[in-house]
Amino acid sequence: MFNSLSDRLASTFKNLRGKGRLSEADVDATVREIRRALLDADVAVPVVREFAAHVKERALGEEVSGALNPGQQVVKIVNDELVNILGGETRRIRLAKNPPTVIMLAGLQGAGKTTLAGKLSKWLRGQGHSPLLVAADLQRPNAVTQLQVNGQRAGVPVFAPHPGVQSEFESATGDPVAVARQGVEEARQKLHDVVIVDTAGRLGVDSEMMQQAADIRAAINPDEVLFVIDAMIGQDAVNTAQAFNEGVNFTGVVLSKLDGDARGGAALSVASVTGKPVMFASTGENLDDFEIFHPDRMANRILDMGDILSLIEQAEKSWDKGEAERMAQKFADQEDFTLDDFLAQMQQIRKMGSMKKMLMMMPGAAGMRQQLENFDEREIDRVEAIVRSMTPHERVAPKIINGSRRARIAKGSGVHVSEVNGLLERFGQAQKMMKKMAQGGGIPGMPGMAGPGGFSGGARKGKQVSKGKKKARSGNPAKAAQELREAEERRANAKKALPTGAAFGQQQEDFDPSALNLPKGFEKFLGK
């Protein structure tokens, strides 16, 4: 959604790199480019003016002039101001003291209210609540049926006493106000602690629509009124939001279709113009593509700083703790990393959702956006098919997979032999890395870590620590035995010369290797 805005801002900040001090002309040029980027992204003009004025005021102040890196300080200022126009703080649902908590959805037709009702109900169910969906949209054709399908997919009951309009040739006959009131009473009797009321919308704002929404609000007295707005609507988003704010006085905003490719800057303006916070964001078509809106994290995404916290939360929610503990124990015991383990890890990643979305949460993802766009999500399916086409023995000992076995695996998984070869090659590299890490050697190729390609301590990359040359042993058996005895005597004398106390004054006479909690089989390397 915000790719264009992110690219424009990144290009603007690139011009500030390497400057030890920013002149007023530098600040003016930077603010001018930021203003253009926001306007091109459809951010409302009053919001752009206020944003640019705040950035310029802070950039010309002592905050930047005394900074060691003015360019980075300007980025921080822009980040702070983005957080402000997005609402400042994360806003949660205010639950009623006496259940049920009543949530009313309002917005234009096509904004995604009915789909969002299913997403919100599933999210609340995952939070430990027992929501009830109420079908009060009796005007849009098949709106009641759609809500019932979404409720079934989310595992949430739907209260729908009236079927609503079934085709575009029918006229609305039901009373949505009465349905909403009965739905709240139904939730109270069936002990549901949250009620989500889906209301009707129009293709445009009109007095009849607003009056109906106001009547429903007056009848059910909701604890939250969520205004659902299409993030791709353009500049009209601000006018629509102001009209709904005056008509129903909503308490929060939900951005739908945030995964679209249109300019979504107008959606960023809603919170600033109306003074109402953005509470949730819909990021896809599936019921799980729904998340709490965090202004600071969204600002980080726009500035290509990543969203690691959301990625961690997503992993914690979907990761199998039992599988993670099994892998940790296997790692501690220095057991071989097998293709079965590789398959289990791939399945865990799949549970987290789209690989593209996860990778785009990483810092600097904008620089590899083209590669991510070309990434095929079905690659995980092909990998799983290849591994499942192997025998149990082949998964444990992949070295036995010769040419004929590879041809059989390729035929069984419906891929080319080259894809099987590529998977085995990547797995071999992963296996070596896991083995190196299990032995305490660090990640190969990582600076600051022990192992090939890296360095440890004072040994720089490309330079080896100088070691004493090992003296060659004599080829004469008698002389070699004499040299061995002399070496053992030197070691014995050196051992006697060492202090017997520990660094903190404790004696080491009764040293027990088992107290060190070493990996299995490591005791043979310790001698008394």
Q: Tell me: the pLDDT tens digits for 410-449?
A: 999 888 999 999 888 888 887 787 777 666 654 444 443 3
Residue for token digits 């003074």? 275
Strands 224-230 and 252-256: what pairing?
parallel
Mean pLDDT in residue range 493-499 = 55
Q: For position 355, what pLDDT does the model report?
A: 66
The answer to the question of whether 122 is labelled as a binding residue is no
pLDDT band at 103 (very low <50, low <70, confident <90, very high): very high
State how far the alpha carbon of 137 is from the alpha carbons of 114, 170, 171, 177, 462, in Å: 9, 14, 13, 10, 70
The answer to the question of whether 289 is labelled as a binding residue is no
Rounded to whole angstroms, the Cα distance separating 376 from 478 reads: 69
DSSP 7-35: HHHHHHHHTTTT-SS--HHHHHHHHHHHH
DSSP 220-252: H--SEEEEEEETTSTTHHHHHHHHHHHHH--SE
Q: Contact 108/230 with Cβ under 8 angstroms?
A: yes
Helices (H), 281-320: 295-302, 308-318
Q: For position 321, what pLDDT does the model report?
A: 67
The answer to the question of whether 338 is labelled as a binding residue is no
Residue 211 token pair:
């009056």
The answer to the question of whether 200 is labelled as a binding residue is yes
The answer to the question of whether 391 is labelled as a binding residue is no
Q: Which of helix, strand or coil describes residue 507?
A: strand
Q: Which of 127, 107, 92 is nearest to 226 (CA)?
A: 107
Q: For position 155, what pLDDT does the model report?
A: 92
Is residue 500 over pLDDT 50?
no
Q: Greater confidence, 236 or 101?
A: 101
Q: Greater confidence, 432 or 134?
A: 134
The answer to the question of whether 12 is labelled as a binding residue is no
494: number of Cβ within 10 Å: 9
What structural domains does the chain harbor? 3-85 (1.20.120.140), 101-303 (3.40.50.300), 314-438 (1.10.260.30)
pLDDT band at 130 (very low <50, low <70, confident <90, very high): very high
Is residue 344 over pLDDT 90?
no
Amino acid found at 424: L
Q: For position 293, what pLDDT does the model report?
A: 84
pLDDT tens digit sequence for 64-80: 666 557 777 788 888 88
The answer to the question of whether 201 is labelled as a binding residue is yes
pLDDT band at 185 (very low <50, low <70, confident <90, very high): very high
pLDDT tens digit sequence for 367-419: 666 666 666 667 778 888 898 899 988 888 888 889 899 999 999 988 899 99
What backbone phi and psi angles, to 5 degrees, belong to 251?
A: -105, -15
The answer to the question of whether 271 is labelled as a binding residue is no
The answer to the question of whether 350 is labelled as a binding residue is no
Is residue 525 over pLDDT 60?
no
pTM for this one?
Answer: 0.63
Q: Greater confidence, 479 or 224?
A: 224
Mean pLDDT in residue range 150-176 = 85
Is residue 271 over pLDDT 70?
yes
Q: For position 147, what pLDDT does the model report?
A: 92
The answer to the question of whether 440 is labelled as a binding residue is no
Is residue 458 over pLDDT 60?
no
Mean pLDDT in residue range 243-272 = 79
Amino acid found at 44: A
The answer to the question of whether 202 is labelled as a binding residue is yes
The answer to the question of whether 108 is labelled as a binding residue is yes
Q: Greater confidence, 375 or 109?
A: 109
Residue for token digits 């960023």? 268
Q: Which of 163, 242, 252, 179 is nearest to 216 (CA)?
A: 179
DSSP 34-78: HHHHHHHTT--HHHHHHHHHHHHHHHTSHHHHT-S-HHHHHHHHH
The answer to the question of whether 107 is labelled as a binding residue is yes
Lowest mean pLDDT among 184-188, 224-228, 380-384: 380-384
The answer to the question of whether 22 is labelled as a binding residue is no
Is residue 323 over pLDDT 90?
no
> How confident is the prediction for the chain on average, in pLDDT?
76
Residue 243 token pair:
């009209």
Rounded to whole angstroms, the Cα distance separating 268 from 237 reads: 10
Q: Greater confidence, 190 or 338?
A: 190
The answer to the question of whether 381 is labelled as a binding residue is no
